Amino acid sequence: MDKLLYGAAYYDEYMPVERLDKDIEMMKKAGMNVVRIGESTWSTFEPHEGEFDFYHLDKVMDAMHKAGIHVILGTPTYAVPTWMVKSHPDILATTDKGRGIYGARQIMDITNPAYLFYAERAIRRMMEHCVKHPSVIGVQIDNETKAYGTAGPAVQEKFAKYLRDKFGNMLVEHPELYDNMPEGYKGVSEDDILDYINYEFGFDYWSNRINAWEDFPDVRGTINGSFKGEFHRFQRKLVTDFLTWQADIVRGYIREDQFITHNTDYGWNGSSYGLNEETDACDNAAALDIVGTDIYHFTQDDLTGTQIAFGGDVSRSLKNDNYYVLETEAQGFPGWLPFDGQLRLQAYSHLSSGADMVEYWHWHSLHNAIETYWKGVLSQDFKENDTYKAACVIGNEWNKLGEHLVHLKKDNKVAIIVSQESLTAINSFPITSPVSRSFGYNDVLMQIYDALYKMNIECDIIWPQQIERISDYELIIIPAMDSASGRTLGAIEK
Amino acid sequence: MDKLLYGAAYYDEYMPVERLDKDIEMMKKAGMNVVRIGESTWSTFEPHEGEFDFYHLDKVMDAMHKAGIHVILGTPTYAVPTWMVKSHPDILATTDKGRGIYGARQIMDITNPAYLFYAERAIRRMMEHCVKHPSVIGVQIDNETKAYGTAGPAVQEKFAKYLRDKFGNMLVEHPELYDNMPEGYKGVSEDDILDYINYEFGFDYWSNRINAWEDFPDVRGTINGSFKGEFHRFQRKLVTDFLTWQADIVRGYIREDQFITHNTDYGWNGSSYGLNEETDACDNAAALDIVGTDIYHFTQDDLTGTQIAFGGDVSRSLKNDNYYVLETEAQGFPGWLPFDGQLRLQAYSHLSSGADMVEYWHWHSLHNAIETYWKGVLSQDFKENDTYKAACVIGNEWNKLGEHLVHLKKDNKVAIIVSQESLTAINSFPITSPVSRSFGYNDVLMQIYDALYKMNIECDIIWPQQIERISDYELIIIPAMDSASGRTLGAIEK
Amino acid sequence: MDKLLYGAAYYDEYMPVERLDKDIEMMKKAGMNVVRIGESTWSTFEPHEGEFDFYHLDKVMDAMHKAGIHVILGTPTYAVPTWMVKSHPDILATTDKGRGIYGARQIMDITNPAYLFYAERAIRRMMEHCVKHPSVIGVQIDNETKAYGTAGPAVQEKFAKYLRDKFGNMLVEHPELYDNMPEGYKGVSEDDILDYINYEFGFDYWSNRINAWEDFPDVRGTINGSFKGEFHRFQRKLVTDFLTWQADIVRGYIREDQFITHNTDYGWNGSSYGLNEETDACDNAAALDIVGTDIYHFTQDDLTGTQIAFGGDVSRSLKNDNYYVLETEAQGFPGWLPFDGQLRLQAYSHLSSGADMVEYWHWHSLHNAIETYWKGVLSQDFKENDTYKAACVIGNEWNKLGEHLVHLKKDNKVAIIVSQESLTAINSFPITSPVSRSFGYNDVLMQIYDALYKMNIECDIIWPQQIERISDYELIIIPAMDSASGRTLGAIEK
């Protein structure tokens, strides 16, 4: 698309009064040209198991099309309907804290076959019914996907098989790994793979050896950081597998000119940003046409710019290309309401990082439930307000200037190498000192990123999977790389 | 009764040595004329299922009668015997934290049929055996009753039926409520009631719709504040139903001149007082002849007077009449031991709010268990001490002056309207700010109450159920009314 | 042994590379003459149920013997193999928090018959195979044993029987105890023992009476401090029983010149030391030939000397004899790395309290799992470092001077009487004040001990079991004795 996209998530399903025409009128006035719909509304369009009703989606797509506003369809799979959990309680993930209780989103086991069956059917029915609509420019699969701590018996069984395959293949390729172990490690377990796993993970400690596959212990209790780290890596792989599976389904329905994207969020707490511990955005990106992201950041006096810039640099670097901001705050929650001029500053900051879309979460503000005070462009009164008026300025500017501002590129000389494995490793043994709170991987990363930002040195982000890209830069910064493969180390040395 | 009542809770069951005659001698010397007995001693008077032995109650009633001291009988139902839980483990409430473990009081499911069967039998046997005794002036039903978070499957089933009845009746009376919903809400669920419930609660959000009654989800996990608030209201209704049920049983046994009361406690934490989130004292009051209350408050340098006054204003306003302080502190716990003169100051403060009784919890101090250091009039040594001596002053004054101080009335010009629903609502979304801890409904209420108190402006309390009373006042203050019915709003407007 | 022992715990099982010869060379250079091996390596020497392989133990014992280094064999029973928990999940202790999850050490129910079966077989096979080896000078049974909170149904059943025996015997010996109870307590329960138990524990409170043995409630929920205290005493007895059982097994295998010891740790948190709430070292000591202890303490600027001295005084007093420091820190964790001279100061401090052995935990530093940064004499690089060099000084001095420094005795004039029961009692009702954190038994004890230490007044420790020893002293200090038997009080009075 050779124009900037500007809009908001829109939920006709949540509206307490009939608002669609009026909302579209206000969107048009604000120069908005895109909405995201459909995600999180599974229980509305499949109210009873197997009975589908696309009333809201049809209605919104038709009205948006008539108004010349583009639609991004979101698959609804991150929030499951009541009927599904009632029939199949084990769809709820079993985590460190036991089996969850229905209510919140993102509480299911994304490997559960019953869940996957219902999810696939719902996606296919949604695609069959909606995706050919002329308003639809693309599909967002799921929402900020993680494994949600899923660690029930079936997941742990998959993990054991994953380990057997991984270390089995390693020994086939490098039999010297086995041979080089001290003699005492050999021939103790049921097979060579377990002998080697016991050696690599140091399971002799505290009598934790696994000497037969059927002895595989409940990984949730482990005191072995390497084992826990490997399980976290496996959980991230479940996320990639799940997103790839969804993308493959969706790809069977979309036109050439429609895209698949996903909104990855990055860890933030306090004023810091960083990698998301629970998902590997780089592995996930392979399944997507365009990278998407959710960027929420402190505002008012606490608006630093670094969070927007970091989220943008990460997103742009994943495919070395432009990306979409699929969610960012409009009014946000109390304390985030933008000062005069901040909404515009933020919007242009996104563009300057390479965003081709800025989409607010969300258009209106909810009248119920946990995000009632996480406010959208409009408040619960649906009236024009300062934030809406600021959006009108942005939207109308972009309608005029958009073709000049779209597809902005960077040619950075500096890159930071990041590492999900190091994140997990360092967070297992966080840095503590008498004068500071516990200090993890993202804190180290952000210290460096902030310093660059303040010196006005722009940078890209490199994952180990893209390690060959390091030859494109003049300066490479490698913070806190606690864990790295031989391939990564080799590339760095070279 | 045309005299003030002054006394203490008395537990012959807990005495490590035979003390009754000596205690009565000391009570007489202190001018005490009432004791409360019986509550919390179920396992003593029904040691084995179905075997009753009223040894202690008979002994105390006879001795008190002989000494001219009145007795209030407490039903023992708030602490269940070991045998009951051993035979019927599901008597223990299932809450947000799962099924409880035997030990503490107030851990049962007050809707459990087995519990209700045993409770009814114990109450009837207690009434048959004791209530006609000439010493007995009234009955206290249960103790500081709440629902104790009960939320097991049977309770949730009741809740679903309650919702179906409530919203079903609403639609019968006001069919326009259904008609006025946006079209998209109609005909989605199994019936009109669920369509309307989904609309009212906003269940489309995060796919939380209930489209068939058998899909009703576990309410403990809900992220919907309105739904949680409705469940809390339902839990408060369980309390009212339970107390009404007890009162109805007891009423079948008492004489015309005997009363039914109940000791409601009000929320306190830090130095603040306020409504009790878990029970609706106004709904409960209908079942009682005389309102009773437990008022515990900070003492020593932290004695402000507002806690006594607020508890009194609430209690007096419930029936616009005098009330009983069924429990208040004598020595209390460490840090509460009254300074010289404070016990008397407190006693007269109660009278000035309209109390006709002040009863300490408790006469002696426990030699075991969790309240060992929550001390009564006497310490574990049973000796005369400063607090006892202060009580002697009060008791003897009241014996002389009581007929002039009893039935004191107020004619206030100011009233505060309170709201249990608003309490729940605001506590779901507490007020936070950079400079303060989270700030809830009771904090707002107490800011206003404290300001009035400091200006020496006395006030009454009005519940929405008594909204017609607002015409009696010159100034009405309505703090933090986040949730109100049309009837309440109409009365206020008028 | 007429020499000082100096060494470290050694784990050939944990070594990532073959190190034994090099390690022994370094030990010899450091003047070390003892290692402890075997404890915590159950899954290595019994990799499959019933299949034993003593490869590592044989290898280390032979090499140590050749080098003239003594070996202490540790039974491995405090960390269970994966196969055992997989086959017998109920080996994991059920505690206040429910059933545990496999992973950490010290999570089993030490009364579980399946666990005891496997433990006994493993100990016997270890003894049969290893203990006669000429390198072996003694056996350490288990490691820092506790009951680990075990409170499942079988344990509670044992507890009920323990109570019935204890109070039954009491009534046989002292029938007047029953007779002296107020009348109301008699004939209420199923038998005299329960009547008396209800009286003694004050179970009438909150309806907690146990009127029949089958009504015995889940003790985990109790709000009765005396009952909880008795259960904690019972749990400590389980520890003593377990250690005595292990010692009896081992004693069937050892030679006259070999000893049985155990490493008791003492509570420490912040900068304080004190009794270990979960085990009664005095009761345990009867099963041992030589008392052993683990002493970990703050170092660097926080090295006070009192922790070493207190641990030493406790250990020496248990048998009024010399003792072994079976574990103490070498490099320890970050913040403990000894300053120049501190390691030597510490070693001599141990000797001056009466230690005949100082053994570091551990020789090398772990490459995996939760204690990776709890470092030994060597770091993960196995290189000579400052701590190793300091150890060389100590070891070589002791080789020269050891015969003059071994078996040092004290003749103290001052003793402190301690009490496990008082510890439990006071910690149930900790001392709180506006200006301090909650203050428990050990805080009181350490205030006194620290004051003596600063005045250079040396002292012994006396347990109630040794109360007759008080006649040996000129000054007896009895801190915070909240609970004491008549025998103890009688001896003190005398």
pLDDT (tens digit per residue) in C88-145: 999 999 999 999 999 999 999 999 999 999 999 999 999 999 999 999 999 999 999 9
List chain C residues with CB under 8 Å of B39.
Answer: none
Q: C123, C253 in Cβ contact below 8 A?
A: no
Alpha-carbon span C352 to C346, nearest angstrom: 10
- In this predicted structure, what is the pLDDT of residue B436? 59
User: What is the reported pLDDT for C1?
Assistant: 82
Length of chain B: 494
- Taking an 8 Å cut-off on Cβ atoms, the answer to whether C104 and A206 are in contact is yes
Segment holding A166, helix H or strand E: helix A153-173
% of chain A with per-residue pLDDT over 90? 93
Q: What is the pLDDT of residue B39?
A: 94
Asked whether the beta carbons of C368 and A225 are under 8 A apart, the reply is yes
Instruction: State the distance between the two ends of chain B, measured CA to CA, in whole angstroms.
Output: 39
pLDDT greater than 90 at residue C334:
no
Q: Is B344 buried (19+), middle (13-18) or exposed (0-12) by CB count in 10 A?
A: middle
Tell me how far apart the alpha carbons of residues B294 and B305 are, in angstroms, rounded to a whole number: 15
* Interval C345-367 mean pLDDT: 97
Is the Cα dihedral B384, B386, B388, B389 positive or negative?
Answer: positive
pLDDT exceeds cutoff 90 at C64: yes
Is A283:A465 a contact under the CB 8 Å cutoff? yes
B216 lies within 8 A of chain A by CB: yes
CA–CA dist B432, A334 (Å, integer): 9
The confidence band for A219, taking pLDDT boundaries of 50, 70 and 90, is very high
- Mean pLDDT rounded to a whole number for chain C: 95
Cis previous bond, B362, omega within 30: yes
pLDDT at A122: 98
Tokens of C361: 């935990």
A204 interfaces chain C, CB cutoff of 8 Å: yes
**CA of A13: which chain B residue's CA is closest?**
B204
pLDDT band at C399 (very low <50, low <70, confident <90, very high): very high
Q: How far, in Å, CA of B128 to CA of B131, rounded?
A: 7
Chain A residue with minimum CA distance to B227: A369
**Which pTM does this prediction carry?**
0.95
* Residue C269 pLDDT > 60: no
- C187-240 residue pLDDT tens: 999 999 999 999 999 999 999 999 999 999 999 999 999 999 999 999 999 999
Contact B20, B56 (CB under 8 A): no
pLDDT in tens, A12-50: 999 999 999 999 999 999 999 999 999 999 999 999 999
C435 has a pLDDT exceeding 60: no
Q: CB-based contact (8 Å) between B208 and chain A?
A: yes
Q: Do C76 and A207 touch (CB under 8 A)?
A: yes
Cis peptide before C362 (omega within 30 of 0): yes
* Cβ distance of B189 and A47 shorter than 8 Å: yes
Contact, C470 vs C476, CB < 8 A?
yes
| Confidence at residue C273, expressed as pLDDT on a 0 to 100 scale | 79
Give the pLDDT confidence score for residue C296 in this predicted structure. Answer: 93
Q: Hey, which residues does A355 pair with through a beta bridge? A: A323
Q: Which of C53, C55, C101 sits opposite A221 (nearest CB)?
A: C101
Rounded average pLDDT over A409-437: 85
| Average pLDDT value for chain A | 95
The neighbouring-strand residues paired with A70 are A34
A83 and B215 in contact by Cβ < 8 A?
Answer: yes
What are the two backbone dihedrals, phi and then psi, of residue A128, each rounded to the nearest 5 degrees?
Answer: -55, -45
**Spatial CA neighbour of C424 closest among C266, C278, C222:** C278
Question: In the complex, which subunits touch C with 3 or more CB pairs below 8 angstroms?
Answer: A, B
What is residue B438's predicted lDDT score, i.e. its pLDDT? 73
Share of chain C above pLDDT 90, in %: 92
Q: How far is B225 from chain A (nearest CA, A)?
A: 5
| pLDDT reported for residue B389 | 98
> C385 — contact with chain B (CB < 8 Å)?
no
Q: How far is A170 from chain C (nearest CA, A)?
A: 18
Q: Which chain B residue lies closest to C210 (C-alpha atoms)? A: B82
Q: Does the pLDDT of residue C153 top 90, yes or no?
A: yes
**Cβ within 8 Å, pair A368-B182:** no
Tell me chain A's radius of gyration from C-alpha atoms: 24
* Chain A (320-379) residues lying within 8 Å, Cβ to Cβ, of chain B: 334-335, 366-373
Q: Give the best residue of C18, C37, C43, C53 to mutate against chain A (max A CB count within 10 A).
A: C43
Question: Which parts of chain B register pLDDT below 50?
Answer: none
CA torsion through residues C470, C471, C475, C478, sign: positive
- CA distances (Å), origin A369, targets A104, B224, B225, B429, C424: 10, 4, 5, 10, 46
CA separation, residue A383 to residues A489, C16, C269, C335, C412 (Å): 57, 68, 58, 59, 85
Structure tokens at B227: 């739904």
- pLDDT value of residue B333: 85
pLDDT at res. A436: 59
Which segment of A432-446, C193-207, C247-261 scores lowest on mean pLDDT? Answer: A432-446
Q: What share of chain A is helix, strand, coil (3-state, %, to 5)?
A: 45, 15, 40
Residues 6+ apart with CB under 8 A from A349: A305, A308, A309, A312
In this predicted complex, what is the ipTM? 0.94
Task: Annotate B242-278 with three-state secondary structure.
Answer: HHHHHHHHHHCCCCCCCEEECEEECCEECCEECCCCC
Q: How many CB atoms lie within 10 A of CB B393?
A: 15
β-pairing, A291-295 vs A323-329, is parallel
How many angstroms separate the Cα of C72 from the Cα of each of B169, C37, C324, C388?
80, 6, 12, 21
Show residues of chain C in contact with B367, CB under 8 Å: 202
